[in-house]
Structure 1
């Protein structure tokens, strides 16, 4: 009994768990799970490739820092910009958009356009949230690969044709 208690007390001090080192909190993926983090990284790579494929002459800026109030991508086509936020769900359920309000508040102040790309699920609740905050300056689409490129192109081009210009 005493040995078990000592082992439990000493294990955190020496930073060892069963079979490996503990990872400092700052190095852990900043997401709900490591599986979702890996999916999110892969999804961002696929979205970047799709943006380059659909708009080869556009400038694409990718925000590498994790923040809730900035979009993952800025796509600038013909002098007009559209922010693109990627969201990854590990299950095909509803996407409520609970992580979107800081970004929506910032974009509402800045007057920017936003396309939220969701890998799977039903985006109806998030669409309501975005239409409440941004009106016709934002939309949510499900994009899971090249088969959904026409939806992505239509969503971005619709926002680009609005009158406000962004550099």
Structure 2
């Protein structure tokens, strides 16, 4: 369903950005799922790394990750992606983020709520090499995969290529 409320779209016409909070006012099922998914991911990060620092980027942008997880002084960027269907995830929205992280030499875990991430996994590997991972995470029963992905990136010896 399209958001036809003039007050919600006017700021974007004038150069403003939409934030996750502004998505809440839309009728988009995916937007509502994304807000809920981010909250669940935040809780999982706190549960898995209780002593870590977790920073959440509240501004909606394509070239910055949703979370920065700092564990034992080392950082991993976390990007969340929500699909409304269990089909293939191509990662068409990832290139601006991947380009930025490739330049910065940062590590990234992409968390996908459902679907087959094979095409996007190839994209992430091409751009970031061994500094990127994609994990299908839809709840605590996938915590092991999330922990393994993040820890494997934290154990890399060099931050920069």
- State whether residues 118 and 141 of structure 1, in contact with CA within 8 Å, keep that contact through their aligned partners in structure 2: yes
User: Secondary structure at 2:35's aligned position in 1?
Assistant: helix
1:121 aligns with 2:121: no
101, 109, 112: which is aligned to 1:107?
101
1:44 aligns with 2:38: yes
Q: Return the index of the structure with the highest Cα Rg.
A: 1
Cα-to-partner distance string for 1:101-160 (whole Å, 9 max, x where unaligned):
000000000000000000000000000000000000001010000000000000000000
1:10-29 matches, within 5 Å, as 22-24=5-7, 25=9, 26=11, 29=23
Give me the whole-angstrom Cα distance separating, in 1, the residues matched to 2:115 and 2:106: 25
Q: What is the TM-score normalised by the length of structure 2?
A: 0.85
Cα-to-partner distance string for 1:59-116 (whole Å, 9 max, x where unaligned):
0000000000000000000000000000000000000000000000000000000000
- State whether residues 67 and 78 of structure 2, in contact with CA within 8 Å, keep that contact through their aligned partners in structure 1: yes
1:98 aligns with 2:92: yes
Q: What is the TM-score normalised by the length of structure 1?
A: 0.82
Unaligned runs of 5+ in 1: 1-20
Give me the whole-angstrom Cα distance separating, in 2, the residues matched to 1:22 and 1:115: 35
Aligned residue pairs, count = 145
Task: Give the Å deviation of 1:40.
Answer: 0.1
1:61-80 matches, within 5 Å, as 61-80=55-74
Aligned structure 1 segments of 4 or more residues deviating by more than 4 angstroms: none
User: Secondary structure at 2:23's aligned position in 1?
Assistant: coil
- State whether residues 74 and 154 of structure 2, in contact with CA within 8 Å, keep that contact through their aligned partners in structure 1: yes
Q: Which residue of 2 aligns with 1:54?
A: 48
User: Secondary structure at 1:153's aligned position in 2?
Assistant: helix
- State whether residues 73 and 83 of structure 1, in contact with CA within 8 Å, keep that contact through their aligned partners in structure 2: yes
Q: Which residue of 1 aligns with 2:79?
A: 85
- State whether residues 79 and 165 of structure 1, in contact with CA within 8 Å, keep that contact through their aligned partners in structure 2: no
